[in-house]
A and B are shown apart, each in its own frame.
Chain A
């Protein structure tokens, strides 16, 4: 929809112009005729016929005879005239009355001359008369034509308006226009349906106050911030993908909409038009998908933990063993009177430390399997690595793998959903450990974080045999596995998580040297610390900017 196609205001001048044009033509014609007629009646001998007639008047100033007339009639082509001329002749022969009848004209001419008859007039001014009649006819034709056109135009106009309304109404999106005061100029059926307001209630009223008065968080939405109003102020089209409109019954629904300025024929903005869509269903579907993904990730974490259960049990067993043994030893020393205060308190401190160690393992496990809303926030890389190392310590010990971690300068905080990134690292590190289980070479896994521009690159490096042949892209597809007992979902879930963080899981591999899996995360700047809300807010602000640079086609 271009602004030009939008309603009455614009078609009206167009219509008026065409009417003017049609009226102008006959007027011009009439002016021409009016000028031409007197010229012809001046008796200037322009053409042969006139010349001959003038001569006839000069030679025979008296009453023209019937012969003359009959002679003249074939010349002038006026066969009906003789009858009329008889009548005139009789009146003139009747005496002076004829003179008075003919008035001054006859008198002006020579006294004894015959009076100037209608015949004379006609034969003298017939061209003017004919032209006048023709002009009248033309005028008549033109007027009827203009009336006809006018009618057609108004019909076309009505049809156009109807079609326009039809188009507006048949669109599933809600469409409405506002003028520079923010009053609705038109609305379509879909909008009535979606908002519950009738068009009569909306048109002419402040649209912002009707459907756009409050934000999602319950704060009043100021008119000055309204993108619809801003659009006709700065004449920039914009797209808003996350907003809220209110219904007549006081409920609200999520919308995305595009606002385009309406311009008149001179290009001056006279309002804006809004096309909006109820995105409740899409929102729900997106929520469903993200919930599904979260569940899948959770399931995968549970199963990972299940596989690691024996290792983790051992990890708990160690401090528990140390605790009981220390406690018993202490009791024995006290009983056998060999204990000193110093040695006892030393042992007690050890016991406390070991209990804390066990508690830490449990805390990490509980946090890892907790169902969390995938909320991305500023997270310390060190904490992520710590969890992975705690959960993997026993598995690494059993398989003789040494775990390292290294965090580069400026790479200590990232924007991440902590549990999910831990899950990715755990997956990758476990794969690495498993890949090295049979090798004689040194077995090492390095968790590495390093700054890369405004991102932090996380790497899991191993000294294993590297990946086998085959394209590494397939690795990230679901149900692709190189393990005898693998399901092939680990890497695909990991990749999904990394993609949800706006990155991509990649791999480098050299046979006989090792493999490196890596991905990038947004670096958390200082002011983003512990403030996920602010981050989201920034995202929201960015959306209209992008939309302004690339207006949606067709609007």
Chain B
């Protein structure tokens, strides 16, 4: 249940909210419904996968305001904006903040479902990245100080001989360390190692944008 992607619907119009929920149900997507941005924030759990279907016009906090708040979080479900009468500035604002889609009411059900599917995929991808990064970081913890130094040198693209000279250790010691690093980081090849390190390099900041 926890890992099943959920569609979070935030709309203060009961009928529209229930209707969207029913639509999600009809394609077998679990949904949770909130009548205001505050209600959603109160239940917000970054760990839960899924996507957010957000109405722009709401009494207390508009959809765009909620979206702007969520952007501050390190991880959050992708947002689909629905609106009664959207205009260009509204759409621009939504997309700048990383909205997956901007749909006008009344909408085509397929369009919404497509957008929801895309958002869930993006979320999964985001969550995949995040998981990988987290895994690599955990593995990095296992490295000794010397192994870390060796890793840095490897990532910098230096040969074993150069590393040995730089660290004033023997070339075979470097090779032993290198094997240990590969083992601890659970990578099989140098290219795998490089990819993992690249993923780690911007400290996941790129992943947050989702696109």
B109 near A314: Cβ-Cβ < 8 Å: no
A325 near B23: Cβ-Cβ < 8 Å: yes
User: Is A332 among interface residues, defined by CB-CB distance under 8 A?
Assistant: yes
User: Is A354 among interface residues, defined by CB-CB distance under 8 A?
Assistant: yes
Residues of B81-115 contacting chain A, CB below 8 A: 84-85, 105-107, 109, 112
User: Is B186 among interface residues, defined by CB-CB distance under 8 A?
Assistant: no
A322 near B19: Cβ-Cβ < 8 Å: yes
Per-residue CB proximity of A329-349 to B under 8 Å, as 1/0? 110110010100000000100
User: Is B73 among interface residues, defined by CB-CB distance under 8 A?
Assistant: no
B84 near A325: Cβ-Cβ < 8 Å: no
A314 near B27: Cβ-Cβ < 8 Å: no
User: Is B12 among interface residues, defined by CB-CB distance under 8 A?
Assistant: yes
A contact patch SS: helix
User: Is B196 among interface residues, defined by CB-CB distance under 8 A?
Assistant: no
Given A317-B106, A318-B16, A320-B106: A325 touches B22 (CB 8 Å cut-off): yes
Cβ 8 A contact of A326, one of B19, B28, B57: B19
User: Is A138 among interface residues, defined by CB-CB distance under 8 A?
Assistant: no
User: Is B20 among interface residues, defined by CB-CB distance under 8 A?
Assistant: yes
In the assembly, what is the distance between CA of A353 and CA of B23, in Å?
18
B58 partner residues in chain A, CB cutoff 8 A? 397
A329 near B22: Cβ-Cβ < 8 Å: yes
B60 near A328: Cβ-Cβ < 8 Å: no
In the assembly, what is the distance between CA of A357 and CA of B20, in Å?
18
In the assembly, what is the distance between CA of A320 and CA of B106, in Å?
6
B15 near A314: Cβ-Cβ < 8 Å: no
A330 near B26: Cβ-Cβ < 8 Å: yes
B61: nearest chain-A partner, CB-CB: A400
In the assembly, what is the distance between CA of A317 and CA of B12, in Å?
14
Instruction: For residue B149, give the distance in angstroms from its CB to the closest CB of chain A.
Output: 57
User: Is B195 among interface residues, defined by CB-CB distance under 8 A?
Assistant: no
Instruction: For residue A392, give the distance in angstroms from its CB to the closest CB of chain B.
Output: 14
In the assembly, what is the distance between CA of A158 and CA of B58, in Å?
91
A401: nearest chain-B partner, CB-CB: B59
Given A322-B18, A329-B109: A400 touches B59 (CB 8 Å cut-off): yes
- Using C-beta atoms within 8 Å of the partner chain, give the interface range for chain B: 20 to 34
- Using C-beta atoms within 8 Å of the partner chain, give the interface range for chain A: 20 to 34
B12 near A324: Cβ-Cβ < 8 Å: no
Instruction: For residue A550, give the distance in angstroms from its CB to the closest CB of chain B.
Output: 58
A320 partner residues in chain B, CB cutoff 8 A? 105-106
A354 near B15: Cβ-Cβ < 8 Å: yes
- Which of A313, A319, A329, A333 has the largest count of B CB atoms less than 10 A from its CB? A329
User: Is B32 among interface residues, defined by CB-CB distance under 8 A?
Assistant: no
A317 near B85: Cβ-Cβ < 8 Å: yes
Given A314-B85, A317-B106: A347 touches B22 (CB 8 Å cut-off): yes
A398 near B22: Cβ-Cβ < 8 Å: no
Cβ 8 A contact of B60, one of A338, A347, A400: A400
B28 partner residues in chain A, CB cutoff 8 A? 336, 338
User: Is A247 among interface residues, defined by CB-CB distance under 8 A?
Assistant: no
Given A332-B27, A338-B26, A400-B59: A325 touches B16 (CB 8 Å cut-off): yes
B14: nearest chain-A partner, CB-CB: A322
A318 partner residues in chain B, CB cutoff 8 A? 13, 15-16, 84, 105
A322 partner residues in chain B, CB cutoff 8 A? 13, 15-16, 18-19
In the assembly, what is the distance between CA of A394 and CA of B18, in Å?
19
Given A310-B85, A313-B84, A332-B23: A321 touches B59 (CB 8 Å cut-off): no
- Which of B25, B28, B84 has the largest count of A CB atoms less than 10 A from its CB? B84
B84 partner residues in chain A, CB cutoff 8 A? 313-314, 317-318, 321
B85 near A397: Cβ-Cβ < 8 Å: no
User: Is A450 among interface residues, defined by CB-CB distance under 8 A?
Assistant: no
A501 partner residues in chain B, CB cutoff 8 A? none
User: Is A350 among interface residues, defined by CB-CB distance under 8 A?
Assistant: yes
B26 near A319: Cβ-Cβ < 8 Å: no
Cβ 8 A contact of A329, one of B13, B26, B60, B106: B26
In the assembly, what is the distance between CA of A318 and CA of B20, in Å?
12
Given A322-B15, A326-B19: A317 touches B59 (CB 8 Å cut-off): no
Instruction: For residue B67, give the distance in angstroms from its CB to the closest CB of chain A.
Output: 17
A333 near B26: Cβ-Cβ < 8 Å: yes
Instruction: For residue A402, give the distance in angstroms from its CB to the closest CB of chain B.
Output: 8
A329 near B16: Cβ-Cβ < 8 Å: no
Given A319-B15, A329-B109: A314 touches B23 (CB 8 Å cut-off): no
A397 near B26: Cβ-Cβ < 8 Å: no
B107 near A321: Cβ-Cβ < 8 Å: yes
B106 near A321: Cβ-Cβ < 8 Å: yes
Instruction: For residue B70, give the distance in angstroms from its CB to the closest CB of chain A.
Output: 20
In the assembly, what is the distance between CA of A323 and CA of B106, in Å?
9
Residues of A95-111 contacting chain B, CB below 8 A: none
Give me 11 A-to-B residue pairs in the complex whose CB atoms sit less than 8 angstroms apart, sorted by A's number. Answer: A310-B85, A313-B84, A313-B85, A317-B84, A318-B15, A319-B15, A321-B106, A325-B109, A328-B109, A329-B22, A400-B60
Per CB-CB distance, the 4 closest pairs between chain A and chain B, nearest first, are A328-B109, A325-B19, A332-B26, A322-B15
* B contact residues vs A (CB 8 Å cutoff): 12-13, 15-16, 18-20, 22-23, 25-28, 57-60, 84-85, 105-107, 109, 112
* A contact residues vs B (CB 8 Å cutoff): 310, 313-314, 317-326, 328-330, 332-333, 336, 338, 347, 350, 353-354, 357, 394, 397-398, 400
